[in-house]
Amino acid sequence: MTHIEKAQGFLDQQYHCSQAIAGAFAEEFGFNKKNVMKISTCFGAGMNHGGLCGCITSAMLVFGMAFGLYDPQDKELEVYGSKMASKFYDRFYEKMNGKVLCREILEADISNPDELAVIRQEGRVNKICPHVMEMSIEIIEEILREHDEDAVYLRMNLDNQQEMKEKETVLKRVDRLHDFRKNVHDLLSASDRKIAFVQFDIRRFKIINDLYGEKFGDEILLFVKEKLKELCNDRQFFMNPSGDVFMVVTEYDDEQMLMDFIKTIESGLTSFKNVKLQLTFGVYSIEDKNMEIRQMEDRAAIARMAAKTNVLTNVLFYKEQFKELLYTRKFIEENMHAAVEEKQFQMYLQPKYSISQNKIVGAEALVRWTHPERGMVYPNEFIPIMEENGFIKIVDYYIWGEACRFIKKCAEVGITDCPISVNVSRHHLKDVEFMSVLADDIRENQIDKSLLELEITETVNDLKISQVAMQLKEGGFTLLMDDFGSGYSSLNVLLETPFDVIKLDKKFMDNMMASEKGKLILEYVVSMAEKLGLGLLAEGVETKEQVELLRKIGCDKVQGYYFAKPMPQEEFFEFLIKERKGE
């Protein structure tokens, strides 16, 4: 049955044109027909007031289903879908000689009782609307055919310029997404077995990219795709929606069978070129086959994100309470730009102390987010997401500026012996843009560069990054290795990067304090730092026992709740002034 025939059938059942067109295309793109028609019902409001023709609004919905226009997290597909929608509007406008409003097409206002009576008396809806609907469907089909022709042409001309290659990438992604959802829709319709969505990703994939390069990361992704081709049968479908995230849809008879399939995937992807791969799985077992496929995908994604923070297992099945994770992520991504513009981010400072002098010898700048309605958004909620999408760079720039202004404020009252350390993440170290940001902040506030210290995480282990760190060192900055002891490469990083101070990670401290052997290791680390001419600071110090041990083994500088929690910069400023005055 053609799209026009399907749509005409809906018209015969008294559905309006918007519902008819949307319903005619829904299942083709993996959507539930009834649900799509329910959504398109709201478009009738515009028509009932003589507004935009329902054929136009439904076409936008069709292109949203076809090209991912509905997905704000996928900007490439969103832009591509918008172009298709604009193309439809232009052609509709041309064919209708500029008539795009319902009142223009029917030559009467359906919202006016008198004019509505004329419309009904003359049967204008039955005379005019089917023709407009058929024309709209023909334009939609024409644009979809052009998309297919573009894809074929680009595949035959792979040596074209960069712009065409980029377009080819988008077209391929659109095709894969379309094919995947169509196959899944067909499976849901035909299968009488249980069906599950299994989504997985590669743990610490971004660090693998940093350590070995993005080309190596791309090789891993290709390896995973090829392995999934081997492992999946013709009724198991997979896609790579983004980055290192993969989705597999499979039939199964019982949970053990499903777990066996997951273990097969895991065992087939244990390593690549001697690099160990660890996977995290989220599973959604379908309960309602009429649910939108995208909703099913979302539930598997929610379970995967929950599994990333679970220390007991790397496979979690979806639970309703996991929805909160998705809502939090959505909230953060929708509000993070406004948070910077409206200065919702605040700089907190946590003092660093000298044990022997019982005196503040510096502070670490930390970020806190206070939303006007939601209140406090905690760092463990927003920082991982912002690190993932790259927005953390903007937040860091803001905190750097605040730290420089605070240093200037201290200097104005005569305090020039309290350096502030700020975080410099691997996102900054990949390019040199951040250097000019630091230089501008220091110049604008006319502060001594030695009072702005830079903390670099120890997990960053890359030759290029080490070279950038060397530039910072030669430029006069003091470099602190953050989280020493939290990873497996601390000594290698220490060898390759010109640090001035190492910060002992809280977990490392806790582990070392748990046994006599650990305390001995801690003593050797302190001795090593002294022999290498490095400063040492223990973070996460919370007990008197820790303080006494650190005093005994010669680690004088500390940071932690035993001395002071992070506090707003205004509170720290007053606290610092009182201490310096001896009050």
Residue-level pLDDT, tens digit, the chain, 583 residues:
889 999 998 888 888 888 999 899 888 777 778 878 887 776 555 566 667 888 888 888 888 777 654 444 445 555 666 777 888 888 999 999 999 888 889 888 877 888 888 888 888 888 898 999 999 999 998 888 877 666 555 545 544 444 455 555 566 666 677 788 888 988 998 999 999 999 999 988 878 887 788 788 889 999 999 999 999 999 999 998 878 999 999 999 999 999 999 999 999 999 999 899 999 999 999 988 888 888 888 889 889 988 887 778 899 999 877 777 777 888 898 899 999 889 999 999 999 999 999 999 999 999 999 999 999 998 988 988 888 777 888 999 999 999 999 999 999 999 999 999 999 877 777 777 889 999 999 999 999 999 999 998 744 445 666 778 888 888 889 999 887 765 544 565 566 667 899 888 887 778 777 788 878 888 888 888 888 888 999 998 998 999 999 999 899 999 999 999 999 999 999 999 999 887 5
Model pLDDT, residue 166: 52
In order of their start, the domains of the chain are 3-165 (no CATH), 191-318 (3.30.70.270), 328-574 (3.20.20.450)
Tell me the C-alpha distance between 393 and 396, whole Å: 5
C-beta separation of 447 from 408 below 8 A: yes
Q: How many CA atoms lie within 13 A of 62 on its CB side?
A: 29
- HEC string of 3-54? HHHHHHHHHHCCCCHHHHHHHHHHHHHCCCHHHHHHHHHCCHHHHHCCCECH
C-beta separation of 150 from 167 below 8 A: yes
| CB atoms closer than 10 angstroms to residue 34 | 11
Helix (H) or strand (E) holding 481: strand 479-484
Model pLDDT, residue 73: 46
Model pLDDT, residue 278: 92
Helix (H) or strand (E) holding 516: helix 516-531
Tell me the C-alpha distance between 94 and 101, whole Å: 13
CA-based angle 195:241:76, to the nearest 5?
145
Percent of the chain with pLDDT over 70: 87
Query: Sign of the CA dihedral 261, 263, 264, 270?
Result: positive
Looking at the DSSP assignment, which residues form a beta bridge with residue 315?
281
pLDDT digits (tens, 9 = 90+) for 510-525: 877 778 887 888 888 8
Query: Sign of the CA dihedral 451, 452, 455, 456?
Result: negative
Model pLDDT, residue 71: 45
Q: Which of 96, 112, 137 is nearest to 50 (CA)?
A: 112
Tell me the C-alpha distance between 390 and 110, whole Å: 50
pLDDT digits (tens, 9 = 90+) for 159-202: 444 445 555 556 666 667 778 888 898 899 899 999 999 999 99
Tell me the C-alpha distance between 487 and 494, whole Å: 12
Residue carrying structure tokens 């334009």:
139
Model pLDDT, residue 79: 63
Q: Number of helices (H) and strands (E) in the chain: give both, helices first.
A: 25, 17
Q: How many CA atoms lie within 13 A of 37 on its CB side?
A: 19
Q: Which of 358, 383, 359, 355 is nearest to 369 (CA)?
A: 383
Model pLDDT, residue 577: 93
Model pLDDT, residue 174: 66
